[in-house]
Structure 1
Amino acid sequence: MFKEKRFELIIEYVNKNGYATNESISKELSIPFTTLRRDLNELHNQNYLIKVHGGAKTLKEKSILEANFSEKISDNIDQKKIIAEKALLCIKPNESVFLDAGSTTYFLAKIIKKDLNNRIYTNSILHAQVLANNGIEDINILPGRLKLKTNAIVGVETINSLKKYYFDVAFIGINAIDSDYNFYTTDEDEAEIKKIVVKNSHLAFALADKSKLNSRSFVKCGDKSQLAVIDEEV
């Protein structure tokens, strides 16, 4: 079977099922394992599907629901650490920084060091604690209501407080990115906070691993004209 035909069949099969194991793909499409592994690697690199341990899953746009912070922080840890290291390179000494609540921004908070002498604002008590443990002295926690599920501070007080600040650089947590690179979150309050921060920042980055691609959630909070994506791609 020609490679192009195999690719077509694999993509169709994975999209139809949402997720498929290597065993099921090999059996149903009569593709040897060694050939299948090479094909899946190539299809993943070309962004036709997502290769995962033991199989592959579709890149068709899906609806993302909000998970608990404790669940998100244990997902895709290696990817989030890579993203955090790349994001750190975007922070210059003495800059004002906004650090959004979220699991990927949490890993960034863990590696920001005192010697950068940044003034850091955040809507996450957890991030503030991590920054304090790093010896950061200028930490500013926004007022508002604590949303326990995402560990984010939200609400009218948060929004009103943000309107008076301007940040050199901001790092925004994102739940989903569609095929046109529109960015989404699951909550209207959090979306409003992200929009204001992006508007009031010289540079704004969306921190998102590639599992967030080709998906949508409830509320759009930005697009590719406003935010640059930092992912785990080398």
Structure 2
Amino acid sequence: MLTTQRKQYLMDLLRRDGQVVAKAVSEELGLSEDTIRRDLRELAREGLLQRVHGGALPALPASPALADFRARAHMSAHAKAAIGRAAAALIVPGQVVFIDGGTTSGHLVRSLAPDLRATVLTHSPSVALALLEHEQVEVIMLGGRLYRHSVVGVGAATLEAIAQVRADLCFLGVSSIDPDAGLSTGDVEEAAVKRAMLRAAAQTVVLASPEKLATASPYRIAGADQIAALVVAHGTDDALLGRYRALGVTVHVAPA
């Protein structure tokens, strides 16, 4: 069977069954799993499907959260404010906390109790500036090259700084989150920084405004099962949230 024929077969199977299991296809066609996985990777790069462990699922829509920082500031503003308030309530005094960049993180910082005593590490200049009014919060800036699209530091210096820390909690912003496709974002270096923060924290909480749910972005950060909790807006589909709970993720629904 030619490569084009295999790919057409895989796409037909995906449309018919809603999934492709690489092992089952390899046995059916008498081909190696490596061959099928290579075909699936190439189809995923073309945006025709999403790769998952063991096979593939239908392609997810692109995330509106891939827009630049200024444009994102106006997306889901009410939901982000509510998510920020709910997330701020999760911080325990005395903790060491990573706060990622992003517009929802800005709402989180503005919702912190004025007398909170904690240590915050961030690679976001805007998050650091918003913490100036919190005199009992020790702010540690993580260095790096400024990635203007998201207004955060990225690169080797940022990764090195993160590697020296063991935080209690990480509040992570993502462009996309899906139970199967996991967490993803639009820049390879930004994905590396987010992945490093997740690994350097005892627990990671993802801040997920509505436009990020059930979407996919080009660069994967981690599987959804690698986070401790998810904070979403009131009214988020409960069937979708049940899929996160099945992965062991605690779901916090922000009050309306």
Q: TM-score, normalised by structure 1?
A: 0.71
SS at match of 1:229: strand
1:156 aligns with 2:153: no
Retained in 2: the 8 A contact 1:113–1:136? no
| Superposed displacement of residue 180, structure 1 | 1.7
Q: Distance in 2 between matches of 1:169 and 1:229?
A: 13
Q: Who is 1:79 aligned against?
A: 79
Partner of 1:231 in structure 2? 232
Tell me the equivalent position of 1:196.
Answer: 196
For the pair 1:89 / 2:89, whether they are aligned, the reply is yes
How far residue 178 of structure 1 moved from its aligned partner, in angstroms, is 2.7
RMSD: 1.6
> CA shift at 1:137, angstroms?
4.0
Asked if residue 64 in structure 1 is aligned to residue 96 in structure 2, the reply is no
Which residue pairs with 1:169 in the alignment?
169
Distance 1:121 1:202, change over 3 A: same
Question: Which letter maps to 1:185?
Answer: T
Task: Return the alpha-carbon distance in structure 1 between the equivalents of residues 179 and 207 of structure 2.
Answer: 16
AA of the residue aligned to 1:95? Q
Please report how far the alpha carbon of residue 135 of structure 1 lies from its aligned counterpart in structure 2 after TM superposition. 3.1
The CA distance in 1 between the partners of 2:179 and 2:200, in whole Å, is 26
For these two proteins, the number of residue pairs brought into alignment is 175
The one-letter code matched in structure 2 to 1:231 is: V
The answer for unaligned runs of 5 or more in structure 2 is 1-58, 235-252
Residue identity opposite 1:140 in structure 2: I
Q: Which secondary structure state, in structure 1, belongs to the residue aligned with residue 226 of structure 2?
A: coil
Deviation at 1:210, TM superposition (A): 2.2
CA contact (8 A) 2:178 2:224 kept: no
Structure 1 residue 146, shift from structure 2 partner: 0.8
How much has 1:74 moved relative to structure 2? 1.4
Q: Which amino acid aligns with 2:62?
A: S
Distance verdict in 2 for CA 1:77–1:136, change over 3 Å: farther
Deviation by residue 1:106-164 (Cα, 9 ceiling, x = unmatched): 11011223422010000100110001133344101101111111111111100011111
Partner of 2:213: 213
* Aligned match of 2:186: 186
Give the Cα–Cα distance (whole angstroms) in 2 for the partners of residues 84 and 121 of structure 1: 17
Q: Distance in 2 between matches of 1:134 and 1:176?
A: 30
SS of structure 1 residue aligned to 2:225? coil
Q: Which residue of 1 aligns with 2:144?
A: 144
CA contact (8 A) 2:144 2:154 kept: yes
Contact 2:63 2:211 in 1 (8 A): no
Checking the alignment, whether the CA contact within 8 Å between 2:120 and 2:137 is kept in structure 1 is no
Residues 170 and 205, structure 1, Cα contact 8 Å, conserved in 2? yes
SS at match of 2:159: helix
Structure 1 unaligned runs (5+)?
1-59
Aligned residues of 1:182 and 1:223 also touching (Cα < 8 A): yes
Q: Give the structure 2 partner of residue 117 of structure 1.
A: 117
Contact 2:115 2:134 in 1 (8 A): no
Q: What is the aligned partner in structure 1 of residue 127 from structure 2?
A: 127
Give the drift of 1:98: 0.5
Q: Distance in 1 between matches of 2:196 and 2:215?
A: 23
Map residues 39-54 of structure 1 onto 2, 5 A cutoff: none
